[in-house]
Structure 1
Amino acid sequence: MSAFEPDDSRYVGRQVRVIRARRGISQQVLADRAGLSRGAIAKYENGERPVDSRRTLLALASALGVTITDLTGHEQEKLDPAAAGFHMAVPEVEIALWTAGNTTDAAPPRPMDELSTAAQRAAELRIACDYAALGPMLAPMLTDCYRHTQDATGADHERAWDVLSTVAHTTAAALKARGYGALSWTAAQEAENAARNIGGTAALAATAFARSQVLLSRPGCLPAALDHAEGTADKIAANVHTVGEIETYGMLHLQASLVVAALGGDPEPHLDEAAEQAARLADARPGSSILRNPTFGPANVALWRISAAMERREPGQVLALAPKLSPDDLPAEGRRAQYFVEIGRAHAMQRNYRDSLYALLRAEHTAPQHVRNMVHVRELVAHMMRTARRDLTTGDLGRLAQRVGVVPS
């Protein structure tokens, strides 16, 4: 295998074929179970068509009785040197969550002001998709927060719970993004527990968002993912007043829109509600909680509208909506990268691979740690490597394929 030939084991269809053979089932049986055609299964397995939608990926995993990771080979991402700092920190994060601060390290926690500042910095790093810098911060912050919740009194006690809810939410979001779904769920539970200690509307919304995100990546869990987003939004709607509450509540509706699209439904009601909430932000009062989601706003609603169209496999709609949104209006690197990824996926669905590659390269430049870990990007790059002309595979596409792990470095 040359440096620019794709490794046949590194695309989803190949894994589908291997697991199907182990199960001893035919392509037709798998197609019937997944609600797809036998011809589509054959094209996925032969590498003629990328598995380029969440709905298809979930359907295949469910039909084969495996996890998404079994099909995508997420473990390869952990070899990326840029992500090593985060992955090395995960065992300590796990201990911090399990022990709730009850460890042999008897050092006193940082002062609340310092801890609050660190929590807000961590949230900024997570939004910027700088996981390498974020990872080592998480376990010490969690431990310090737990100790303050146990020892502080009066207003400081409530503040400690608020900071803990923020740190736990940041931890849950980062773990989910890096492929640690089960541990992300544990962190979300800790964020919810903190929220219930202070009655935090924003924290409850953020927790439901995190849980719905984890469920969205699991076969057979779409109804539960929708229930977490919609159900929590309904429960807290009457108590949404401050900037942070509007931001996190609005994100719940955006999440619900994506799940509805994945289920084949109409995401517009949730997108419209999110747009109404975004319009409230200018006149909303600040709250006392430090938990916020500053990425929420009109531009982010427009981005999720594009993502929902992509989820419904409507590339023409994606490419019609994209020029109406300037990526410069999106307030975070991860969101801007997502904008270009969706454009790249849409062009690829229309077999316009040069424009697709250009969009994916812009996405990677914007948020490299985030984009190199995206299943859809790897699958699409692998497909282009199998079908593109030689001059493309040895140029920008070949180098991108190396960086996302499609071909050996």
Structure 2
Amino acid sequence: MSNDLGHDDGRYIGRQVRAIRARRGISQQVLADRVGVSRGAIAKYENGERPVDSRRTLHALAQALGVALGDLTGDHRDRLDPISAGFHAAVSDIETALWTHGNTTTTRAPRNLDELTATTKYAADLRRACDYATLGPLLAPLLNDCYRHTRDATGAARDRTWDALAAVAYITAQSAARRGYPSLAWTAAQEIERATENIGGTGGPAAAAYIRSQILLARPGSFAAAFDNARTVDRLAPDVRTLGEIETYGMLHLQAALVTAALGGDPTDHLDEADEQVARLEQAGPDSTLLRNPTFDAANVTLWRMSAAMERREPGQVLELAPTLAPETIAAEGRRAQYFVEIGRAHALRRDYRSSLHALLRAEHIAPQQVRGMTHVRELVGHMMRSARRDLTTGDLGRLAKRIGAVPA
């Protein structure tokens, strides 16, 4: 054990478990029985000797203690981090735009359709780059412009407007879910479906089900509901035809694979189906729709195979897959960062903390706003600070721990 944090002022899930358990008057054995682990495992979580790096364990602890995940992870505090300030400040305006369908007291003339299309594509680029601070202030004005056009447009312009609204709602939902606003993400997902009801197609239902499944997967007791949303793929399959529809349908299969892995099942069928959808992309032809997920490709499927393996706590499988994927072929910065996060988690499970640190630093360099807000990264880095050699904890690891809030700055 490192001597640097003998008094352990760090932030980790087990510390919160211990405090809440004590307030509840629950013994370690009782909590262990509720969670389905040994009393020794609970003791190691609470003492910081073992990280809570499993989604299933985290959810079980929250349920057993009768608290929200944020009470254990501290995610609600991340909203006030300077790196998230731009998005956080914009949330109220985004909510108003969605709740009122753009019926706000703005005097600014809306963008024309070409400007609306260009700005929507720019917003999508920002989302893929995980630049939430820049993206946040764009979303409410963009939503308001979309809504204003839907009230006036006719013919082909009407379809373009509803498509833009569906795309902006999808960007909003993805961003809100990532920044810790699940209710806002859920509302935005409803707007995806409402928009696509006006133009048809399977892209909207697939995108909305994908978002809902992600939200539910982060909620204790909601794994089955997350799986039910992901299984929307079965209903949509016969009607998937266009490029955008294949992309959103393929991403829903990847989400179904992750949920299956979280439930302890075998995700292979969904991952193989995603590979089959990748093979359809070249034959699909061009697609002018804005509701797209262009990160869906062969590289992304391999990345999700790594994530599913990590969910099943199979670090060897993760590290076998990693060399088959060149990170520069991963289209989006957020996905590229995720690649290195999974490698870092796998190395940590094998107690190769130096390799883990190297991978996490690369991930943070690629997408700092995303990586610094990841609960499992914070938990892992905090664990390494308590377990790794002194030469690591006083160098790059210590500085990373401060940046992500695993220890006091």
TM-score (norm 1): 0.96
Q: In structure 2, what is the equivalent of residue 257 of structure 1?
A: 257
Q: CA deviation at 1:6?
A: 8.2
SS in 2 for 1:301: helix
Q: In structure 2, what is the equivalent of residue 391 of structure 1?
A: 391
Compared CA separation, residues 42 and 248, structure 1 to 2 (3 A): same
Aligned residues: 407
Q: CA deviation at 1:286?
A: 2.2
1:40 correspondence with 2:41? yes
1:86 correspondence with 2:90? no
Aligned-residue CA RMSD in angstroms? 1.5
Compared CA separation, residues 3 and 37, structure 1 to 2 (3 A): closer
1:294 correspondence with 2:262? no
Q: CA deviation at 1:106?
A: 3.5
Q: In structure 2, what is the equivalent of residue 329 of structure 1?
A: 329
Quick one: distance in 2 between partners of 1:401 and 1:271? 34
Q: CA deviation at 1:154?
A: 2.0
Q: In structure 2, what is the equivalent of residue 305 of structure 1?
A: 305
Q: In structure 2, what is the equivalent of residue 16 of structure 1?
A: 17
Q: CA deviation at 1:68?
A: 1.2
Compared CA separation, residues 40 and 122, structure 1 to 2 (3 A): same
1:111 correspondence with 2:93? no
Quick one: distance in 1 between partners of 2:9 and 2:315? 27
Q: In structure 2, what is the equivalent of residue 69 of structure 1?
A: 70
Q: Which moved more, 1:189-198 or 1:366-375?
A: 189-198
Q: Which moved more, 1:28-37 or 1:12-21?
A: 28-37
Q: In structure 1, what is the equivalent of residue 276 of structure 2?
A: 276
1:142 correspondence with 2:175? no
Quick one: distance in 1 between partners of 2:26 and 2:204? 46
Gaps of 5+ in 1: none
Quick one: distance in 2 between partners of 1:64 and 1:8? 23
Summarize deviations over 1:367-391 as a string: whole Å, max 9, x none. 1111000011000011111122222
Q: CA deviation at 1:102?
A: 0.9
SS in 1 for 2:198: helix
Q: In structure 2, what is the equivalent of residue 51 of structure 1?
A: 52
Q: CA deviation at 1:328?
A: 1.1
Quick one: distance in 1 between partners of 2:123 and 2:302? 26
Summarize deviations over 1:149-168 as a string: whole Å, max 9, x none. 11222222222111000000
Quick one: distance in 2 between partners of 1:393 and 1:76? 24
Q: In structure 1, what is the equivalent of residue 61 of structure 2?
A: 60
Q: CA deviation at 1:343?
A: 0.7
Quick one: distance in 2 between partners of 1:340 and 1:107? 43
Summarize deviations over 1:161-200 as a string: whole Å, max 9, x none. 1100000010000000001011111111111111112113
Q: In structure 2, what is the equivalent of residue 406 of structure 1?
A: 406
Q: 8 Å contact 1:338–1:363 — kept in the other structure?
A: yes
Quick one: distance in 2 between partners of 1:255 and 1:364? 23
Quick one: distance in 2 between partners of 1:399 and 1:4? 14
What residue identity is the alignment partner of 1:71?
L
Q: In structure 2, what is the equivalent of residue 212 of structure 1?
A: 213
Instruction: Percent identity, please.
Output: 69
Q: CA deviation at 1:108?
A: 2.7
Quick one: distance in 2 between partners of 1:25 and 1:385? 28
What residue identity is the alignment partner of 1:281?
L
Compared CA separation, residues 9 and 182, structure 1 to 2 (3 A): farther
Q: In structure 2, what is the equivalent of residue 29 of structure 1?
A: 30
Gaps of 5+ in 2: none
Q: Which moved more, 1:72-81 or 1:260-269?
A: 72-81
Q: Which moved more, 1:266-275 or 1:18-27?
A: 18-27
Consecutive aligned runs of 4 or more in structure 1 exceeding 6 Å deviation: 2-6
Q: 8 Å contact 2:299–2:329 — kept in the other structure?
A: yes
Superposed counterparts of 1:101-250, under 5 Å: 101-230=102-231, 232-250=232-250
Quick one: distance in 2 between partners of 1:385 and 1:363? 18
Q: 8 Å contact 1:250–1:278 — kept in the other structure?
A: yes
What residue identity is the alignment partner of 2:294?
P
Q: Which moved more, 1:286-295 or 1:218-227?
A: 286-295
What residue identity is the alignment partner of 1:284?
A
Q: CA deviation at 1:288?
A: 3.8
Q: 8 Å contact 2:163–2:195 — kept in the other structure?
A: yes
Q: In structure 2, what is the equivalent of residue 362 of structure 1?
A: 362
